[in-house]
């Protein structure tokens, strides 16, 4: 769902980072239309009982938060499983390319389940949090990849 929202540049509606402008703002009606559109996209992907439980909500971010709160506890166990798979992943008989691809799939899935941390700086980030987190995760991936290589690459 996030990929679909990002391709339409609408992920800010579910994250709550694009707040509704005041009624006096000319963009108020446009924001409402976009919010309703995102809400309809979300509800079309739900089963009827879940859809009924969120119909009273006014914003896409309320729906997203409710769904996250409702289902995120399953994510914690899945995250732990993914971390175990990454930890135990070894090159074995695979080529380096196959091994890397297998790890990359696991990393991307793990990234999808992890919480999105948002910078709390004003409009432009001045603390560098996003870049620091990205660098830290990239370093983790490189180390994990190198540790899983066969012994013939131990000198690398």
CA distances from 137 to 99, 110, 133 (A): 18, 11, 6
DSSP state of 147: H
pLDDT value at residue 59:
96
pLDDT value at residue 2:
83
87 in Cβ contact with 144 (< 8 Å): yes
* CA 12-1-64 angle, 5° bins: 55
Does the pLDDT of residue 72 top 80, yes or no? no
pLDDT value at residue 71:
78
End-to-end CA distance of the chain: 39
Does the pLDDT of residue 90 top 90, yes or no? yes
Does the pLDDT of residue 119 top 70, yes or no? no
75 in Cβ contact with 83 (< 8 Å): no
Average model confidence (pLDDT) across the chain: 89
**How much is the average pLDDT of 122-145?**
84
Does the pLDDT of residue 81 top 90, yes or no? yes
146 in Cβ contact with 103 (< 8 Å): no
């Amino acid at each position: 769902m996030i990929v679909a929202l990002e391709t339409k540049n609408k992920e800010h509606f579910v994250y709550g980072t694009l707040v509704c402008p005041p009624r006096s703002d000319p963009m108020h009606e446009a924001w409402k239309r976009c919010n309703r559109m995102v809400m309809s996209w979300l509800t079309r992907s739900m089963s009827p009982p879940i859809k009924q439980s969120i119909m009273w909500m006014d914003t896409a971010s309320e729906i997203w938060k409710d769904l996250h709160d409702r289902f995120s506890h399953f994510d914690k166990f899945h995250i732990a499983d993914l971390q175990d798979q990454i930890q135990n992943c070894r090159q074995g008989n695979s080529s380096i390319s196959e091994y890397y691809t297998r790890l990359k799939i696991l990393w991307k899935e793990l990234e999808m389940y992890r919480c999105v941390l948002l910078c709390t700086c004003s409009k432009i980030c001045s603390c560098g949090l996003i870049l620091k987190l990205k660098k830290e995760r990239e370093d983790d991936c490189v180390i994990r990849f190198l540790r899983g290589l066969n012994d013939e690459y131990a000198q690398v």
